[in-house]
């Protein structure tokens, strides 16, 4: 397996994650979502800007809160974005693509949808070509895309 990593100290985590993946990936690219204490990953998703052609991976994080010893737990949410080198939006093809090691991999496609009251929006459909994984190292979320 080949891999591209921004931080060599995290390469063993990326390698372990790719060994246990259900799909064989050729490599990975890593970026950071920053330090977040006490939050746990809820889900990951893609975001893009059609005008600039940029794309990022977003993380939805959840933290359980307790107001008192007999109260019911509540939650608070936080969203963080991670910039991944080589991840971009191609407006002509309507795809979020990862360029790494001379390859162009389609990570998601974008379609126009119509809502209940006739409002239009763009929906992102992830493909099976890219697997987003998240590791917490010293309190920082390290986001990897394996391809």
The rounded distance, in Å, linking the Cα atoms of 53 and 37 is 31
Show the domain range for 88: 8-146
Whether 55 maps to a domain, the answer reads yes
Whether 81 maps to a domain, the answer reads yes
pLDDT class of 135 with cuts at 50, 70, 90: confident
| Token pair in block for residue 85 | 């080198």
pLDDT, tens only, 53-103: 999 999 888 776 665 555 556 677 788 899 999 999 999 999 999 999 999
Whether 135 maps to a domain, the answer reads yes
pTM metric for this prediction: 0.69
At residue 10, the pLDDT reads: 32
Whether 1 maps to a domain, the answer reads no
Whether 24 maps to a domain, the answer reads yes
Whether 2 maps to a domain, the answer reads no
pLDDT class of 27 with cuts at 50, 70, 90: low
Whether 30 maps to a domain, the answer reads yes
Q: How many CA atoms lie within 13 A of 42 on its CB side?
A: 15
The single-letter DSSP state of residue 6 is: S
Q: How many domains does the chain have?
A: 1
Whether 3 maps to a domain, the answer reads no
At residue 36, the pLDDT reads: 59
């Amino acid at each position: 397996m080949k891999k591209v990593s921004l931080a060599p100290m995290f390469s063993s985590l990326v390698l372990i994650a790719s060994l246990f993946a259900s799909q064989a990936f050729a490599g990975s690219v890593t970026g950071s979502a920053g330090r977040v204490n006490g939050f746990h990953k809820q889900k990951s998703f893609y975001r893009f800007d059609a005008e600039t052609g940029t794309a990022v991976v977003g993380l939805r994080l959840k933290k359980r809160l307790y107001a008192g010893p007999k109260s019911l737990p509540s939650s608070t949410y936080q969203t963080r974005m991670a910039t991944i080198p080589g991840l971009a939006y191609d407006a002509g093809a309507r795809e979020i693509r990862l360029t790494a090691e001379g390859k162009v991999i389609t990570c998601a496609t974008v379609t126009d949808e119509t809502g209940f009251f006739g409002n239009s929006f763009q929906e992102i459909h992830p493909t099976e070509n890219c697997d987003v994984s998240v590791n917490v190292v010293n309190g920082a979320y390290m986001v990897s895309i394996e391809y």
